[in-house]
Protein backbone atom coordinates (compact mmCIF):
# COMPACT_ATOMS: atom_id res chain seq x y z
CA UNK A 1 0.00 0.00 0.00
CA UNK A 2 1.48 3.36 -0.96
CA UNK A 3 2.41 6.01 1.59
CA UNK A 4 3.31 8.61 -1.02
CA UNK A 5 1.77 9.58 -4.35
CA UNK A 6 4.23 11.22 -6.74
CA UNK A 7 2.77 12.81 -9.88
CA UNK A 8 5.07 14.15 -12.54
CA UNK A 9 3.87 16.66 -15.06
CA UNK A 10 4.31 17.75 -18.65
CA UNK A 11 7.51 16.34 -20.01
CA UNK A 12 8.95 16.13 -16.50
CA UNK A 13 8.80 12.37 -16.02
CA UNK A 14 12.06 11.02 -14.70
CA UNK A 15 13.34 7.52 -14.04
CA UNK A 16 13.47 6.75 -10.32
CA UNK A 17 15.00 3.76 -8.56
CA UNK A 18 13.05 1.02 -6.84
CA UNK A 19 10.38 -0.05 -9.32
CA UNK A 20 8.56 -3.05 -7.85
CA UNK A 21 6.29 -4.18 -10.66
CA UNK A 22 5.84 -3.43 -14.32
CA UNK A 23 4.39 -0.17 -15.54
CA UNK A 24 0.59 0.08 -15.81
CA UNK A 25 -1.13 2.36 -18.27
CA UNK A 26 -3.41 4.83 -16.51
CA UNK A 27 -6.12 3.86 -18.98
CA UNK A 28 -6.21 0.37 -17.39
CA UNK A 29 -6.82 1.81 -13.93
CA UNK A 30 -9.22 4.72 -14.25
CA UNK A 31 -12.92 3.97 -14.78
CA UNK A 32 -13.40 6.46 -17.62
CA UNK A 33 -11.90 6.92 -21.10
CA UNK A 34 -8.54 8.72 -21.24
CA UNK A 35 -7.06 10.80 -24.04
CA UNK A 36 -3.35 11.26 -24.66
CA UNK A 37 -1.63 14.65 -25.15
CA UNK A 38 1.53 14.85 -27.27
CA UNK A 39 4.56 14.55 -24.97
CA UNK A 40 2.56 13.41 -21.93
CA UNK A 41 2.79 9.76 -20.89
CA UNK A 42 0.00 8.34 -18.73
CA UNK A 43 1.47 5.58 -16.61
CA UNK A 44 1.53 4.27 -13.06
CA UNK A 45 4.25 2.35 -11.29
CA UNK A 46 5.12 1.36 -7.74
CA UNK A 47 8.50 2.22 -6.22
CA UNK A 48 9.84 0.57 -3.09
CA UNK A 49 12.05 2.90 -1.08
CA UNK A 50 13.83 2.49 2.23
CA UNK A 51 10.87 3.91 4.16
CA UNK A 52 7.81 2.79 2.22
CA UNK A 53 5.96 2.45 -1.07
CA UNK A 54 5.52 5.28 -3.57
CA UNK A 55 2.81 5.25 -6.22
CA UNK A 56 4.40 7.09 -9.13
CA UNK A 57 2.08 8.56 -11.76
CA UNK A 58 3.98 9.63 -14.85
CA UNK A 59 1.85 12.24 -16.52
CA UNK A 60 -1.37 13.66 -15.13
CA UNK A 61 -4.88 14.21 -16.38
CA UNK A 62 -5.65 17.87 -17.08
CA UNK A 63 -9.12 19.37 -16.97
CA UNK A 64 -8.37 21.11 -20.30
CA UNK A 65 -8.39 17.66 -21.90
CA UNK A 66 -12.07 17.55 -21.09
CA UNK A 67 -11.92 15.68 -17.78
CA UNK A 68 -14.26 16.74 -15.01
CA UNK A 69 -12.73 17.97 -11.76
CA UNK A 70 -13.57 14.59 -10.18
CA UNK A 71 -11.86 12.68 -12.99
CA UNK A 72 -8.81 14.96 -12.84
CA UNK A 73 -8.22 14.08 -9.18
CA UNK A 74 -9.12 10.37 -9.47
CA UNK A 75 -5.63 9.00 -8.76
CA UNK A 76 -5.13 11.37 -5.81
CA UNK A 77 -8.29 10.01 -4.20
CA UNK A 78 -7.35 6.43 -5.04
CA UNK A 79 -3.94 6.84 -3.41
CA UNK A 80 -5.38 8.57 -0.34
CA UNK A 81 -8.03 5.88 0.14
CA UNK A 82 -5.27 3.26 -0.08
CA UNK A 83 -3.54 5.09 2.78
CA UNK A 84 -1.11 7.51 1.13
CA UNK A 85 -0.52 10.54 3.33
CA UNK A 86 1.76 12.66 1.13
CA UNK A 87 1.27 14.06 -2.35
CA UNK A 88 4.31 15.23 -4.28
CA UNK A 89 3.79 16.79 -7.69
CA UNK A 90 5.84 18.44 -10.39
CA UNK A 91 4.51 20.66 -13.13
CA UNK A 92 5.69 22.97 -15.87
CA UNK A 93 4.73 26.59 -15.31
CA UNK A 94 5.12 30.00 -16.81
CA UNK A 95 7.24 32.39 -14.74
CA UNK A 96 5.49 35.63 -13.81
CA UNK A 97 8.19 37.48 -11.95
CA UNK A 98 11.06 39.52 -13.41
CA UNK A 99 13.63 37.72 -11.32
CA UNK A 100 12.86 34.25 -12.72
CA UNK A 101 14.53 32.53 -15.62
CA UNK A 102 13.60 29.48 -17.65
CA UNK A 103 14.92 26.18 -16.38
CA UNK A 104 14.65 27.33 -12.74
CA UNK A 105 12.86 25.14 -10.20
CA UNK A 106 10.46 26.56 -7.63
CA UNK A 107 8.63 24.97 -4.73
CA UNK A 108 5.02 26.12 -4.49
CA UNK A 109 4.29 28.04 -1.29
CA UNK A 110 0.58 28.66 -1.95
CA UNK A 111 -1.94 28.56 -4.78
CA UNK A 112 -4.71 30.58 -6.40
CA UNK A 113 -7.39 28.43 -8.03
CA UNK A 114 -8.55 30.34 -11.09
CA UNK A 115 -9.70 27.26 -12.99
CA UNK A 116 -13.37 27.82 -12.23
CA UNK A 117 -13.51 24.19 -11.06
CA UNK A 118 -13.48 22.52 -7.67
CA UNK A 119 -13.43 18.75 -7.10
CA UNK A 120 -15.39 19.12 -3.85
CA UNK A 121 -18.57 20.34 -5.53
CA UNK A 122 -21.50 18.02 -5.15
CA UNK A 123 -22.03 15.18 -2.71
CA UNK A 124 -18.94 13.28 -1.61
CA UNK A 125 -18.80 10.54 1.02
CA UNK A 126 -18.67 12.45 4.35
CA UNK A 127 -16.00 10.09 5.68
CA UNK A 128 -13.56 11.37 3.02
CA UNK A 129 -13.25 14.72 4.73
CA UNK A 130 -14.97 17.96 5.65
CA UNK A 131 -17.18 19.74 3.14
CA UNK A 132 -15.33 23.00 3.81
CA UNK A 133 -11.69 22.01 4.30
CA UNK A 134 -9.18 24.47 5.64
CA UNK A 135 -6.68 25.58 3.00
CA UNK A 136 -4.24 27.61 5.12
CA UNK A 137 -1.50 25.01 4.81
CA UNK A 138 -2.54 23.73 1.40
CA UNK A 139 1.18 23.40 0.59
CA UNK A 140 2.86 21.90 3.63
CA UNK A 141 5.37 24.26 5.27
CA UNK A 142 7.45 21.50 6.87
CA UNK A 143 7.80 19.51 3.65
CA UNK A 144 8.65 22.74 1.82
CA UNK A 145 11.39 23.54 4.36
CA UNK A 146 12.75 20.00 3.91
CA UNK A 147 12.80 20.40 0.12
CA UNK A 148 14.59 23.75 0.36
CA UNK A 149 17.19 22.27 2.70
CA UNK A 150 17.78 19.26 0.45
CA UNK A 151 18.06 21.50 -2.63
CA UNK A 152 20.75 23.57 -0.88
CA UNK A 153 22.62 20.38 0.04
CA UNK A 154 22.45 19.18 -3.56
CA UNK A 155 23.47 22.55 -5.02
CA UNK A 156 20.14 22.91 -6.85
CA UNK A 157 18.72 26.43 -7.09
CA UNK A 158 15.16 26.30 -5.71
CA UNK A 159 13.02 29.40 -5.29
CA UNK A 160 9.52 29.43 -3.86
CA UNK A 161 6.38 31.10 -5.10
CA UNK A 162 2.61 31.29 -5.43
CA UNK A 163 1.09 29.21 -8.25
CA UNK A 164 -1.98 30.39 -10.13
CA UNK A 165 -3.91 27.47 -11.63
CA UNK A 166 -5.81 28.43 -14.77
CA UNK A 167 -8.10 26.35 -16.98
CA UNK A 168 -6.07 26.60 -20.21
CA UNK A 169 -5.33 25.25 -22.72
CA UNK A 170 -4.63 28.59 -24.40
CA UNK A 171 -1.64 30.35 -22.87
CA UNK A 172 -2.21 33.73 -21.25
CA UNK A 173 -2.53 37.02 -23.03
CA UNK A 174 -0.12 39.74 -21.86
CA UNK A 175 -3.09 41.41 -20.11
CA UNK A 176 -3.84 38.17 -18.24
CA UNK A 177 -0.19 37.87 -17.25
CA UNK A 178 -0.32 41.39 -15.83
CA UNK A 179 -3.52 40.50 -13.94
CA UNK A 180 -1.90 37.36 -12.46
CA UNK A 181 1.12 39.35 -11.33
CA UNK A 182 -1.12 41.88 -9.61
CA UNK A 183 -3.01 39.05 -7.93
CA UNK A 184 0.24 37.98 -6.30
CA UNK A 185 1.09 34.92 -8.39
CA UNK A 186 4.69 34.04 -9.29
CA UNK A 187 3.88 31.02 -11.44
CA UNK A 188 1.05 30.13 -13.77
CA UNK A 189 0.04 26.70 -14.99
CA UNK A 190 -2.85 24.51 -16.03
CA UNK A 191 -2.71 21.81 -13.36
CA UNK A 192 -2.06 21.05 -9.69
CA UNK A 193 -4.64 23.22 -7.87
CA UNK A 194 -7.50 20.71 -8.14
CA UNK A 195 -5.33 17.81 -7.00
CA UNK A 196 -4.15 19.83 -3.99
CA UNK A 197 -7.74 20.66 -3.02
CA UNK A 198 -8.73 16.97 -3.25
CA UNK A 199 -5.62 15.90 -1.34
CA UNK A 200 -6.20 18.38 1.48
CA UNK A 201 -9.82 17.30 1.71
CA UNK A 202 -8.59 13.75 2.32
CA UNK A 203 -5.98 14.92 4.84
CA UNK A 204 -2.86 14.51 2.68
CA UNK A 205 0.14 16.82 2.93
CA UNK A 206 1.22 18.42 -0.35
CA UNK A 207 4.62 19.34 -1.72
CA UNK A 208 4.64 20.68 -5.29
CA UNK A 209 7.38 21.87 -7.61
CA UNK A 210 7.18 23.99 -10.75
CA UNK A 211 9.76 24.01 -13.45
CA UNK A 212 9.73 27.45 -15.01
CA UNK A 213 9.43 26.24 -18.56
CA UNK A 214 8.96 29.66 -20.11
CA UNK A 215 8.46 33.22 -19.07
CA UNK A 216 4.76 34.00 -19.33
CA UNK A 217 3.59 35.86 -22.42
CA UNK A 218 4.92 39.37 -22.80
CA UNK A 219 7.81 38.90 -20.35
CA UNK A 220 11.46 38.37 -21.24
CA UNK A 221 12.81 37.57 -24.68
CA UNK A 222 10.08 35.12 -25.55
CA UNK A 223 6.99 37.16 -26.25
CA UNK A 224 5.27 34.03 -27.52
CA UNK A 225 4.91 30.75 -25.61
CA UNK A 226 4.69 27.40 -27.34
CA UNK A 227 4.11 23.83 -26.16
CA UNK A 228 7.36 22.51 -27.68
CA UNK A 229 9.35 25.11 -25.69
CA UNK A 230 7.63 23.89 -22.51
CA UNK A 231 8.48 20.24 -23.27
CA UNK A 232 12.07 21.10 -24.20
CA UNK A 233 12.64 22.93 -20.88
CA UNK A 234 11.33 19.86 -19.06
CA UNK A 235 13.78 17.53 -20.78
CA UNK A 236 16.66 19.87 -19.97
CA UNK A 237 15.76 20.00 -16.26
CA UNK A 238 15.07 16.27 -15.86
CA UNK A 239 18.40 15.43 -14.24
CA UNK A 240 18.01 18.12 -11.57
CA UNK A 241 14.44 17.08 -10.82
CA UNK A 242 15.43 13.41 -10.61
CA UNK A 243 18.16 14.20 -8.08
CA UNK A 244 15.85 16.30 -5.92
CA UNK A 245 13.02 13.75 -6.00
CA UNK A 246 15.34 10.81 -5.28
CA UNK A 247 16.76 12.63 -2.31
CA UNK A 248 13.28 13.52 -1.02
CA UNK A 249 11.99 9.97 -1.42
CA UNK A 250 14.84 8.81 0.80
CA UNK A 251 13.50 10.86 3.72
CA UNK A 252 11.37 9.20 6.42
CA UNK A 253 9.33 12.40 7.00
CA UNK A 254 7.33 11.69 3.84
CA UNK A 255 6.01 8.29 4.86
CA UNK A 256 3.33 8.62 7.51
CA UNK A 257 0.22 6.56 6.75
CA UNK A 258 -3.24 8.09 6.44
CA UNK A 259 -5.71 6.39 8.74
CA UNK A 260 -7.97 4.13 6.69
CA UNK A 261 -11.28 5.68 5.74
CA UNK A 262 -14.27 3.86 7.24
CA UNK A 263 -16.42 2.10 4.63
Specify the residue, 164 or 199, whose C-beta has the smaller distance to ligand HPA: 164
Task: Determine what percent of the chain falls in helix, strand and coil, rounding each to the nearest 5.
Answer: 30, 25, 45
Cα 58 to chain center, whole Å? 11
* Residue 58 near residue 8, CB atoms below 8 Å: yes
Q: Does 52 bind ligand HPA (CB under 6 A)?
A: no
Q: Does 190 bind ligand HPA (CB under 6 A)?
A: yes
Q: Does 171 bind ligand HPA (CB under 6 A)?
A: yes
For ligand HPA, what does the binding mask look like between residues 204 and 243, x meaning CB under 6 A?
---------xx-x--------x----x-------------
Specify the residue, 56 or 171, whose C-beta has the smaller distance to ligand HPA: 171
* Residue 16 near residue 208, CB atoms below 8 Å: no
Q: Does 47 bind ligand HPA (CB under 6 A)?
A: no
Spatial neighbors of 187 by CB under 8 A, at least 6 apart, are 93, 94, 95, 96, 106, 108, 161, 162, 163, 164, 210, 212
* Beta bridge pairs of residue 212: 93
User: Quick one: which of 188, 194, 219, 244 contacts ligand HPA (CB under 6 A)?
Assistant: 188
Q: Could you tell me the smallest distance in angstroms from the CB atom of residue 211 to ligand HPA?
A: 8
Binding site for ligand HPA (CB under 6 A): 92-94, 171-172, 188-190, 213-214, 216, 225, 230
Amino acid sequence: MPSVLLVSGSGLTVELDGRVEGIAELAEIVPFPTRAVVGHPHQLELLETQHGIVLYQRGRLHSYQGYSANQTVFVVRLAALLGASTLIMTNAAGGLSDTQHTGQLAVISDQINLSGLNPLRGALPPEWGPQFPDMVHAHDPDLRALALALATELGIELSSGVYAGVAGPSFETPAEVEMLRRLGADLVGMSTVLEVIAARHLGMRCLCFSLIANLAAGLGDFAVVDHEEVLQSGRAAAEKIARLLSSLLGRPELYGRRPRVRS
